[in-house]
Homo-oligomer: A and B are copies of this chain.
Amino acid sequence: MFETAELGRAVAKKDFEAVIPGLRVELVDLQQRLRSAGFPVLVLFSGVNGAGKSETINLLNEWMDPRWIESSAYQPPSDEERERPRFWRYWRDVPAKGRLGLFLSAWYSRPFLDHVYGASSAAEYEAQLDECAGFERVLADDGALILKFWMHLGRAQQKRRLKALEKDPLQRWRITELDWKHWRMYERFIEVAEQTIRATSIPQAPWQIVEGMDPHYRSLTVATAIRDAVSARLAVRPPNGSKLRRRTDPDGAVPAERAGDAAAAILDGTRRHNVLTDLDMRQTASKDEYAEELPRQQGRVNSLFREARERGVSLVCVFEGWDASGKGGAIRRLTRALDARDYRVIPIAAPNDEEAAHHYLWRFWRQLRRSGRVTIFDRSWYGRVLVERVEGLASPLEWRRAYSEINQFERQLTGFGIVLVKFWLHVTPEEQLRRFEERQSIDYKRWKITDEDWRNREKWELYERAVQEMVERTSALDAPWTLVEANCKRSARLKVLRTVAEALEGALAREGDGHRSGSERSTKKKKA
């Protein structure tokens, strides 16, 4: 989930300073237009200490017209507040229609810390997160535009940032021993952060994860996201719009495609740096290494899966990737490690009539197999947020909603004890071209390449963006995406096998601890 926010994305000071004046004018102008609109805007900042939550709030206060903006940060509850239901103070601070409210952590803060410190059980925390989501749903149903930013830093980034703040005489006061204590608990924070983001990324108010290391990048990201969301909503809910009109676009919270403007152009530039471009594509495995390692890893997968089968543990593998990235070959190397009675490979193409007549998840639910089996999806439910998104086969409303639907689906799988492994096989555009041309020149491979493949290539950037967002929204500790550097087929196949083996090993170790039992699993949304 956070892989996408540890890329070191940055915006040069010069570029930043060039676009800010224009952006500020736009923001102030939007505030004016918002004043007569029939909805409030809530902007919530949460995330890692030092990732710039309060700095961003300060900056927005500086940039925008302070008369139409309200900032709310929360101390431990006062007597007054302790004597009322928990949401009382947040309700009080909900901005009026036409106004913009900035919230620092707010309703997430206390339950989050309580759970990090183990003061609440997993079930209690889930219930509290439901309350948070319920609160936001009530406001969003009434028309509120809610933007939630999760400001993130990697573990090493956070350390660097805390040290830098300590060194700065003007900022030193910000850093206390508690910050360092929390830094030492980094893994625990991330685990709870992930649970929080998955459970409360409701379609009306999804979290947007922002890399917090570079102040220019994060400020520009947040400010343009606010600008885009408010102007998109104003476009569908113009002031004095009819009631009906005002209610037809649950979609406005998400930025519309932007016409080229200076700030967007800079951010698009940083997008060229993403989880895929971040991969080290020079990885290779020699023939000898492969000849030795392949049977070793296959043997490992074989013996681990036999143990899993004994214990009734199922494995579900998802293969996604570029055309000609070698999914089929990788799948075959995996299935050779398994007994034909245990696995099934499900190739996913366009839905048939019966499938098209159901919810898009239906055809995946029906493919779930009994305990102790392996199901391999050659393409999967992620088609919704990849090909269907890029090709316009699903509406923006549909594919944006799909992230939380997919998370809910996968949580039911992993909650039941199924081991879920997801691969994106990545090749560079040059390597893909080489393979396309090779396929066309070899008679028995020509069928593999179609006009559609060539067309897809033209949409490389759109797919890249979709992959980045997919990883951001659906990678989870118990259902992680593994990005496979697949320019070298041999090394890609070995990585797939190793990843499957490690996932099985981890699951069997947890099972062995007796942490989860069958009957319990199905009743918990998330493992404790």
Q: Is the CB of B357 within 8 A of A88?
A: no
Of A118-126, A317-325, A452-460, which stretch is located at the interface? A118-126
Query: Could you tell me the distance between the alpha carbons of A144 and B362 in the complex, rounded to whole angstroms?
Result: 13
- Size of interface on A: residues with Cβ below 8 Å to B: 66
Contact of A85 with B416 at beta-carbon distance under 8 Å, contacts A94-B358, A247-B397 already known: yes
User: Which residues, 339 to 383 on A, are CB-close (under 8 Å) to B?
Assistant: 354, 357-362, 365-366, 368-371
Contact of A523 with B368 at beta-carbon distance under 8 Å, contacts A91-B362, A243-B395, A357-B98 already known: no
Q: Is the CB of A130 within 8 A of B525?
A: yes
Q: Is the CB of A359 within 8 A of B84?
A: no
Of A181-189, A264-272, A405-413, A436-444, which stretch is located at the interface? A405-413
* 8 Å CB contact of A120 from B80, B369, B412, B523: B523
Q: Is the CB of A365 within 8 A of B91?
A: yes
Query: Could you tell me the distance between the alpha carbons of A70 and B429 in the complex, rounded to whole angstroms?
Result: 49
A314 (CB) vs chain B CBs: closest residue? B83
Q: How far is the CB of A330 from chain B (nearest CB, A)?
A: 26
Q: Is the CB of B366 within 8 A of A91?
A: yes
| B-side contacts of A357, CB under 8 Å | 96-98
Query: Could you tell me the distance between the alpha carbons of A83 and B368 in the complex, rounded to whole angstroms?
Result: 10
| B-side contacts of A124, CB under 8 Å | 123, 523-524
| B-side contacts of A518, CB under 8 Å | 82
User: Residue A252 at the B interface, CB < 8 A?
Assistant: no
Q: How far is the CB of A252 from chain B (nearest CB, A)?
A: 13
Contact of A365 with B138 at beta-carbon distance under 8 Å, contacts A123-B123, A522-B86, A525-B130 already known: no
Contact of A412 with B130 at beta-carbon distance under 8 Å, contacts A203-B141, A357-B96 already known: no
* 8 Å CB contact of A362 from B85, B94, B397: B94
A138 (CB) vs chain B CBs: closest residue? B405
User: Which residues, 397 to 455 on A, are CB-close (under 8 Å) to B?
Assistant: 397, 401, 405, 408, 412-413, 415-416, 418
Residues 234-257 of chain A: 1 if any B CB is under 8 Å from the residue's CB, otherwise 0?
A: 000000000110011000000000
Query: Could you tell me the distance between the alpha carbons of A82 and B142 in the complex, rounded to whole angstroms?
Result: 41
Q: Is the CB of A358 within 8 A of B131?
A: no
Q: Is the CB of B401 within 8 A of A368?
A: no
| B-side contacts of A117, CB under 8 Å | none
| B-side contacts of A415, CB under 8 Å | 85
| B-side contacts of A203, CB under 8 Å | 141
A128 (CB) vs chain B CBs: closest residue? B523
A520 (CB) vs chain B CBs: closest residue? B124
User: Which residues, 192 to 215 on A, are CB-close (under 8 Å) to B?
Assistant: 203
Q: Is the CB of B525 within 8 A of A127?
A: yes
Q: Is the CB of A94 within 8 A of B359?
A: yes
- Nearest 5 pairs of A and B residues by beta carbon: A96-B357, A91-B365, A83-B371, A83-B370, A85-B416
Q: List 21 A-B contacts (CB under 8 A).
A: A83-B312, A83-B370, A84-B370, A84-B416, A85-B413, A86-B522, A88-B365, A94-B359, A96-B354, A96-B357, A96-B358, A97-B357, A111-B523, A123-B124, A126-B130, A130-B525, A138-B405, A139-B359, A141-B401, A141-B405, A142-B360
